[in-house]
A and B are shown apart, each in its own frame.
Chain A
Amino acid sequence: MRLAGIDIGSRSIELIVLEDGQVVHSKQAESGYNPIERVKELIADISFDKIMATGYGRGIVEVAFNFPTVTEIKAYGAGATGLYPGVRSVLDIGGQDTKVISINEMGKVTKFEMNDKCAAGTGKFLEMMATTLGYQTHQIGTEAQKGEKGIEINSMCAVFAESEVTSLLAKGCKRNDVALAIHQSVCRRAVGMIRRQNISTPLMFAGGVANNSCMIELLEQSLGENIIVPEKPQFVGAYGAAVLAGLS
């Protein structure tokens, strides 16, 4: 049976198709201004028996395509467990939210926390900071790893952080050092959320930001243990949705 999972995030849409449990198709697109059209394009040339949608935009595809939906919390839980049976928690940092999800021995989500009114410390935040520093988004992690510790970014608001970064640069601070400081502040926020929930390990780091090598390094340092980072961390939600499509 071919099972599809689609994760409509605020920044990007991921599609996965599983056949006999193996990924036979995966594709990513920017959400853009018309996610419904993007979804249409993504599913145009693929076939599937069942599909499940998740993510921030799941509601609109439920209406437009009549796809069944699950929350991204359940999808990330199922995705993480599907990829790494025995995983007990997930940190997901996506385009505009950060989530910490606890999973029990049975692979079931038991508890979660997510940011509410503010998207500070998420993928979009890093994207904006990269722009301010003149880096490509995918570069900011590796550039930050070349930096030295010592600077602190105090603002978590993207707008204020931008002016803080600009004034640090004006003072002569190095770009790499500032980039590192930005990562440290995002990391502190994520670790705070992890600690509040009293999670069990192993912990998986997923979502687009888990592609960032500096974030992985800093998180492992702060938590004092290794974390699991799947090969394509931004696809964990779509993968989980596909797994759940099979159970629906």
Chain B
Amino acid sequence: MADYTQMWTELGLNLDNHNALLENLGGAYQSIFMTQENRPEGMAYFDFVMSEAHGLRIQELRDEQKAGRKIIGSFCVFVPEEIILAAGCTSVGLCAGADFAQDEVEKVLPRNTCSLIKSFFGFELGKVCPYMEASDLIVGENTCDGKKKSFEIFKEMVPNFYQMDLPQTKTPMARHMLKHEFKSFVEKLEEMTGKSIKLEDLKQGIATVNAKRQALRRLSMLRAADPAPISGLDALLINQIAFLDNPARFTEKVNILCDELEIRVKENKGAKATNAPRVVISGCPMAIPNWKLPSIIEAKGAVIVGEESCIGERGQRNLTDDSADNLDGLMDSITDRYFKIDCAVFTPNQDRINHIKEMKQQYNADGIIHYGLQFCQPYIMESFSIEKQLEKENISVLRLETDYSQEDMGQLSTRVEAFVEIIK
């Protein structure tokens, strides 16, 4: 990596903290990703993106800023990327996948807060996330109580916070509210850029994001093959990078990778052994660099064939209909597309269990591992009924609750290994 010290200093990063983080991250990446066997060649691009995630990519974003684009950081798949692109802005997902500056975090948040929330507080307090510091606007969304209340504190810590409200049910009134929130978001972006979004802008935004979703869908479907042509870790990484990379370039690279995977499938070549036990992970999102559970699962000889997660299918399934010929019609399509997201903050949320069953079928999975972040009430509560409903259909489920620490690695490994023995 080139020397980005000046850029990081200009962004206000704490260089000591940041170096420590990069060193850690680099080590983890090496031992988790680079030691995998039979990786597709197309992964080289994603390895490169990761190695430059805090370097070249940030440089690109700053160049975009110099050219007048605004960078919009967000934490959730409910923040519509098509609108951000239509406004001539760039969307980036913000870091929330590792513990950092925990002692500082616990001065402002209760200890019993989920790792994901603590993480983005830690990244901000430790000044180690260049995406956060480079963002012209940080969008927080009212999903769970933890996020919504923590944003009250977070918005005092950053100069450019925007809060988006979200419904918690799927009633017509709730849909109406979501559309209203998306419209307010359009207004906010228009005010920032001084330009109004035109029909063709929104069409283009939708086309770009749909293409990305289609490429990711293609990747998902290829994982149905046995042997799986790509490891679950690599597929997760690609889904994580989807939040950071330039969308058009990302789409192109995913498609190139998929061309390679198609050949692999035809030739019966896999990243993992034929007949390896197949697992779908379901539950909380795994943000970079949260690779803890997937790396345990695949180290135990199983292969992850799908992620029922925001960083995975929950976030990427369903395209936005682009057929309307007026702005309001497109806003309706966008609303309809996002309204289908089956996040556990919604009640009731039967769609999610149906999706889990569907994924189990589609990817020929032998079992489901439900991943709940400790203190994540919506997903953990839902996991009980999910477990019951799946077991009724004789689908093996392992329900895990963990966090970003390494404290429970031993116990977690034993559980996963025993589950793999069961589904073999």
Selected from A56, A73, A114, the residue in CB contact (under 8 A) with B421 is: A73
Q: Which 3 A-B pairs have the closest CB atoms?
A: A73-B418, A71-B418, A74-B421
Given A73-B418, A73-B421, A111-B422: 17 more A-B contacts, CB < 8 Å: A56-B414, A70-B421, A71-B414, A72-B414, A97-B411, A110-B396, A110-B422, A111-B396, A112-B415, A112-B418, A114-B411, A114-B414, A114-B415, A116-B401, A116-B408, A116-B411, A116-B412
Complex CA gap A147/B130 in Å reads 63
Say what secondary structure dominates the interface of chain B. helix
CB-CB contacts below 8 Å: B391-418 with A:
391, 396, 401-402, 407-408, 410-412, 414-415, 417-418
Residue with the highest number of chain B CB atoms closer than 10 Å, among A110, A115, A116:
A116
**Interchain CB contact under 8 A, B418 and A74:** yes
Contact with B along A103-131 (1 / 0, CB 8 A): 00000111110111100000000000000
Question: Considering only CB atoms and an 8 Å cut-off, how many residues of chain A contact the other chain?
Answer: 16
Evaluate contact between B411 and A71: CB separation under 8 angstroms.
Answer: no
Nearest CB to that of A76 among chain B residues? B418
Chain A residue at smallest Cβ distance from B420: A71
- A110: which B residues are within 8 A, CB to CB? 396, 422
With a CB–CB cut-off of 8 A, which chain B residues contact A97? 411
C-alpha gap A109/B391 in the complex (Å):
14
- Chain B residues, CB < 8 A from A108: 422
Chain B residues with CB under 8 A of A116: 401-402, 408, 411-412
Q: Which partner residue on chain B sits nearest A97 by CB separation?
A: B411
User: How long is the Cα–Cα vector from A108 to B421 in the complex, in angstroms?
Assistant: 10
Interface hits, B286-332 → A, CB 8 Å = none
Question: How far in angstroms is the closest Cβ of chain B from A48?
Answer: 22
The residue of chain A having its C-beta at the shortest distance from the C-beta of B407 within the complex is A117
**CB-contacts of A39-79 with B (<8 A):** 56, 70-74
Closest-CB distance, A116 to chain B (whole angstroms): 5
Among residues 379 to 400 in chain B, which have CB atoms less than 8 Å away from a CB atom of chain A? 391, 396
Residues of B within 8 A of A73 (CB): 414, 418, 421
- Asked whether B422 lies within 8 Å of A109 as measured between CB atoms, the reply is yes
> Across the interface, do B421 and A71 meet the contact criterion of CB distance under 8 Å?
yes
**Contact flag A117-B411 (CB < 8 Å), given A71-B417, A110-B396:** yes
**Of all chain B residues, which has the CB nearest A109?**
B422
B405 (CB) vs chain A CBs: closest residue = A117
Residues in chain B near residue A74, CB distance under 8 A: 418, 421
In the complex, which of the residues B396, B410, B411 has the most CB atoms of chain A within 10 Å of its own CB atom?
A: B411
Q: State the CA gap A116–B415 with chains docked (Å).
A: 9
Contacts A73-B421, A74-B418, A109-B422 known; A56 to B396 CB distance under 8 Å?
Answer: no
Chain B residue, CB-CB nearest to A70: B421
CA distance A80 to B176 in the complex (A): 58
CB distance from A92 to the nearest CB of B (A): 12
User: Once the chains bind, are A109 and B421 in contact (CB under 8 Å)?
Assistant: yes
B-chain residues with CB within 8 Å of residue A114 when the two chains form the complex: 411, 414-415
In the assembly, what is the distance between CA of A214 and CA of B373, in Å?
A: 37
Q: Which residue of A lies closest to B421 (CB)?
A: A74
Q: A59 to B412, alpha carbons, bound, how many Å?
A: 14
Q: Which chain A residue lies CB-closest to B415? A: A114
CB–CB A117/B408 < 8 A: yes
Q: In chain B, what residue has the closest Cβ to A10?
A: B410
Q: How far is the CA of A72 from the CA of B415 in the complex (A)?
A: 10
Q: Can you name the residue of chain A whose Cβ is closest to the Cβ of B387?
A: A111
In angstroms, Cα B402 to Cα A195, docked, is 22
Considering the complex, give the chain B residue whose CB is closest to the CB of A74: B421
Complex Cα–Cα for A56 and B415 (A): 11
Question: A71 to chain B: which residues have CB within 8 Å?
Answer: 414, 417-418, 421
Give CA–CA (A175, B402) in the complex, Å.
38
- Least distance between B412 CB and chain A CB atoms (Å): 8
In the complex, what distance in Å separates the CA atom of A87 from the CA atom of B325? 67
Nearest chain B CB to A164 CB, angstrom units: 23
**B-contacting residues, A202-248, CB 8 Å:** none
How far is A108 from B411 in the complex, measured between Cα atoms in Å?
21
Closest to B388 in A: A198
- Chain B CB count within 10 A is highest, among A71, A73, A112, for A71
Least distance between A5 CB and chain B CB atoms (Å): 16
Residues of the B chain whose Cβ atoms lie less than 8 Å from the Cβ of A70: 421
Residue of A nearest to B402 (CB): A116
List B residues 2-16 near A (Cβ within 8 Å). Answer: none
Q: Which of chain B's residues 147-166 have a Cβ closer than 8 Å to chain A? A: none
Inter-chain CA distance A74–B422, complex, in Å, is 8
Question: Chain A residues with Cβ under 8 A from B391's Cβ?
Answer: 111
A residues near B418, Cβ cutoff 8 Å:
71, 73-74, 109, 112
C-alpha gap A56/B411 in the complex (Å): 9
A56 to B407, CA, bound (A): 15
Residues of chain A with a CB closer than 8 A to B422's CB: 108-111
Q: Complex: how many Å from CA A97 to CA B408? A: 13
CB distance from B418 to the nearest CB of A (A): 4
CB distance from A67 to the nearest CB of B (A): 15
Could you tell me the distance in whole angstroms from the C-beta of B332 to the nearest C-beta in chain A?
A: 45
Tell me, in angstroms, the Cα distance from A75 to B417 when the chains sit together: 12
Q: In the bound complex, what is the Cα–Cα distance between A50 and B396 (angstroms)?
A: 31
Residues of B within 8 A of A72 (CB): 414
What residue in chain B is nearest A119 (Cβ atoms)? Answer: B411
Nearest-neighbour CB distance to chain A for B416, whole angstroms, equals 9
Name the A residues within 8 Å of B407 (CB-CB).
Answer: 117
Which residues between 343 and 399 of chain B lie within 8 Å of chain A, taking CB atoms?
Answer: 391, 396
Q: Which residues of A contact B415 (CB under 8 A)?
A: 112, 114
Residues of A within 8 A of B401 (CB): 116
Enumerate B98-146 residues with CB–CB distance to A below 8 Å: none
Q: Which residue of A lies closest to B300 (CB)?
A: A71
CB of B99, distance to nearest CB on chain A (Å): 15
Name the CB-closest residue of A to B399. A113
In chain A, what residue has the closest Cβ to B422? A109
Contacts of A112 in B (CB 8 A): 415, 418
Nearest A-chain residue to B397, judged by Cβ: A111
